[in-house]
Amino acid sequence: MTERLSVAVVGGGIGGLTAALCLVRAGCDVRVYEQAGQLSEVGAGVQVSPNASRVLHGLGLAEALAATGVKPLAWHQRRWDDGRTLLRAPLAEALEATFGFPHYQMHRADLLDALAAALPPGVVFLSHRLAGFAEDTDGVELRFADGRRARADVLVGADGIHSPVRQALFGPDRARFTGCVAYRAVVPAERLRHLGLEVTAQIWMGPGRHFVHYFISGRRLVNFVAVVEQDEWTRESWTDRGEIADALAAFAGWHPQVRDLLGAADETYVWALFDRPPLPRWSVGRVTLLGDAAHAMLPFMAQGAAQAIEDGAALAACLRDIRSPADVAGALTRYERVRLPRTSQLQAMSAGNKTRFHLPDGPDQEERDRQIADGSQAWSLNAQAWLYDYDADALVS
């Protein structure tokens, strides 16, 4: 193209900022419109696996990720009551040697800050709540709640599980409550020194619930997520306050390390876990979706953020070489065709892990543990090669 393709990204989270940075590197004129008055992420951890760090390193963020990210030594799966090891799959050097890029455990805010710092000035526009949009022959016009307007050749909805862009494209919908709620918190690592915690991602599995914890923020903090099955929930929120006493009661009888971690938190948030079935399509004309707006999934494969990061790389690759704005719709169809099968598979696998993690003690649990030990389940390193070795840019190119 003789003129730069203009792209409007609605949503300034991890997926939106990654897409923006990828698109800038691809030569596009990018604007990110975020409804909040500042870029921020909730106080929670995120796993950045090699399929995602490949993209981020390619964007020049290796030094920033190394400054705050933690490279876990292993996935460590354990029994809920006695702490017995079910699987210890090596990460750190072994993972990097196999796939070429590291696995990081990070605070979401640290990752968002790294992405924002890498963007050139004038790309991110805060306090812009999308009120609607309309496509015409020349592009897409965006309307914001305060009356402001903007135009672009392409509109990308990176606006989360409640995505107004998705609803405008495909009509109103409702997320599915998955029957699980999660208590989450971060705890100063100094407060937990007496536990002698390993630098691993530990997953404790038990009847009707599981518990995950790992270091973040240069090992200064420990992030935990305690997932409990529950019959109903009426809100979708990351910011509802929970009660430590309720979390402790839910994990009564569990290993002392789990209960010590729960009891060390000053506060916790309770987060109902929702997902949506895979969409049959993501794009209409010059408008498409990315991240949770396109493929909200349970966090039981630790791939929600990673898949949004992959989306950004794939989208930029599809738009990079088009010759005119008239080619946008075809490029977005290609993006959708490349990405939708993979994310749909991960949505299904994440949902399946709810059952596997929460089996009651008995024959099915014993068979699961046997499969974990022999490496035939999806959380073993050998079985993860298809996931970690993925190169979103190369597969599009």
Residue 49 inside a domain? The answer is yes
Q: What crossing angle do the helices spanning 304-320 and 14-25 adopt, rounded to 10°? A: 30
Q: CB atoms < 10 A from the CB of 307, how many?
A: 27
Residue 372 is predicted with a pLDDT of 81
The residues, ordered by sequence, that sit 6+ positions from 371 with a Cβ below 8 Å of its Cβ are: 377
Residue 318 inside a domain? The answer is yes
Spatial CA neighbour of 118 closest among 19, 43, 38, 29: 19
Under-70 pLDDT residues of the chain: 1-2, 41-43, 233-240, 375-383, 395-397
The tokens describing 328, both together, are 């946008």
CA distances from 293 to 22, 25, 28, 74 (A): 18, 23, 22, 31
Residue 92 is predicted with a pLDDT of 82
What is the DSSP track for 270-324? EEEEEE-PPPS---BTTEEE-THHHH---GGGS-HHHHHHHHHHHHHHHHHT-SS
Catalytic positions are 214
Residue 247 inside a domain? The answer is no
| Bridge partner list, 90 | 74
Residue 335 inside a domain? The answer is yes
CATH number of the structural domain spanning residue 37: 3.50.50.60
Residue 380 is predicted with a pLDDT of 53
Residue 90 is predicted with a pLDDT of 82
What would the pLDDT profile of 124-170 be if each residue is shown by its tens digit?
999 999 999 999 999 999 999 999 999 999 999 999 988 999 999 99
Query: How many domains is the chain built from?
Result: 1
Residue 50 inside a domain? The answer is yes
Spatial CA neighbour of 39 closest among 105, 89, 110, 87: 110
What would the pLDDT profile of 82-134 be if each residue is shown by its tens digit?
999 998 888 888 889 889 999 999 999 999 999 999 999 999 999 999 999 99
Range of the domain at 46: 6-174+276-396
Residue 107 is predicted with a pLDDT of 95
Residue 238 is predicted with a pLDDT of 47
* Predicted model pTM: 0.94
Residue 122 inside a domain? The answer is yes
